Amino acid sequence: MTQQTPTALGKVAVLMGGASAEHEISMLSGAGVLEALRDRGVDAHAFDPSERPMEALRTEGFARCFIALHGRFGEDGTVQGALELMGIPYTGSGVMASAIAIDKTMTKRVWIAEGLPTPAYRLLRAGDDPQQFAALPERFGLPLIVKPAREGSSIGVTKVTERAQLTGAIEQALAMDADVLCEQFISGDEVTCPVIGIGDTARALPVIRIVAPEGNYDYQNKYFTDDTQYLVPCGLPPGEEQRIQQLALHAYRVLGCRGWGRVDVMIDAATRAPSLLEINTSPGMTSHSLVPMSARAAGISYEDLCLQLLQQATLDNPRAAVKGRS
């Protein structure tokens, strides 16, 4: 497929900020994308949906959008649906794939149905009998992971190492989401694998191995410290990186993702068996972010990555959208 030149892409909105708990990170991602696209000659403009009505994208003549929003109201199919109605092509996954991928429980259900490995889990909902919580350590062992079902950037995630922490961890997660995921903890290597492209043409980028202080890859260690190590080449045993890449591609495709994404995986230290944790359909693009890091290892600069993603902007149903706008 012939790629459009930067000037032919028209007026572009970089959607950033938004109303989610990841507003701050989204602003950093958006600022990087905005600068990169302008550097490549794109007529790009910042647009924060939490400050301006989405309808302004149409009335102000934007031809396409680069979605640099993270979390709810940006990565969950809501913004994608609005852009579909307006007929404005956008980067990343469509409505259905975005809505499924933001929900860690729904993602797990699809992966399990497809025979893909993911840690055992229990879904807790607001209003459930608290007595149900007590049996979780017996079911999954300790430590175990407690996290909101629909947040990203490790927001609200607790690694529970003793029983006394469990109730507080669940309450913290419930304060952010009515659904809480209690998940088996996998001890071993934490890796992530970006994927770019659509369908059969999608490809996995180099795997990154994450070595965080005391194994705690939390919000602070993700974005605001230099203590976490990101290893690319990942240094995994021969053949293991290729298996992780194949698994990430499979996980991406069965959810119907497109454009780009990043699949997080744990590798069991004892068995070397991989387990899928989650997928991000609008990954970070900050100075600490992993997709640009992996792309660089594959010979793709940050600026070229942004331009390539923008050139692939599309709609779930482009023909119907064009007809609707005429």
Check 93, 153, 275, 294 and give the catalytic one: 153
Catalytic annotation, pick one of 278, 282, 302, 303? 278
Long-range own/partner contacts, residues 170-177 (CB < 8 A, 24 or more apart): 170/124, 170/133, 170/146, 172/146, 173/146, 173/147, 173/148, 174/124, 174/126, 174/148, 176/21, 176/148, 176/151, 177/148, 177/149, 177/150, 177/151
Structural contact between residues 186 and 247, judged by C-beta atoms closer than 8 angstroms: no
Looking at 17, 18, 20, 22, which residue is catalytic? 22
Q: Is 153 a catalytic residue?
A: yes
The helix (H) or strand (E) run that includes residue 223 is helix 219-223
240 included as an active-site residue: no
Question: In degrees, to the nearest 5, what angle opens at C-alpha 131 toward C-alphas 129 and 136?
Answer: 110
Catalytic residue of the set 29, 93, 280, 282: 280
Tell me which of 262, 275, 289, 302 is the catalytic residue: 262
Respond yes or no on whether the N-terminal peptide bond of residue 143 is cis (omega within 30° of 0).
yes
Q: Which stretch of DSSP H or E encloses residue 184?
A: strand 179-184
Rounded to the nearest angstrom, the gap between the alpha carbon of residue 214 and the centroid of all alpha carbons in its chain is 24
Catalytic (active site) residue 200: no
Give me the residue label for tokens 């660089």. Answer: 296
Given 75, 177, 189, 264, which residue is catalytic?
A: 264
To the query of whether residue 262 is one of the catalytic residues in this protein, the response is yes
> Is 87 known to be catalytic?
no
- Other CB atoms within a 10 A radius of the CB of residue 196 amount to 24
The catalytic position among 90, 121, 217, 223 is 223
Q: Does 264 participate in catalysis according to the annotation?
A: yes
Give Cβ neighbours of residue 65 (< 8 Å, ≥ 6 apart): 12, 13, 14, 15, 47, 57, 83, 88, 89, 90, 91, 313
219 as an active site residue: the answer is: no
Q: Point out the catalytic residue in the list 77, 92, 94, 284.
A: 284
Residue 52 appears among annotated catalytic residues? no
Residues carrying an active site annotation:
22, 153, 223, 262, 264, 278, 280, 284
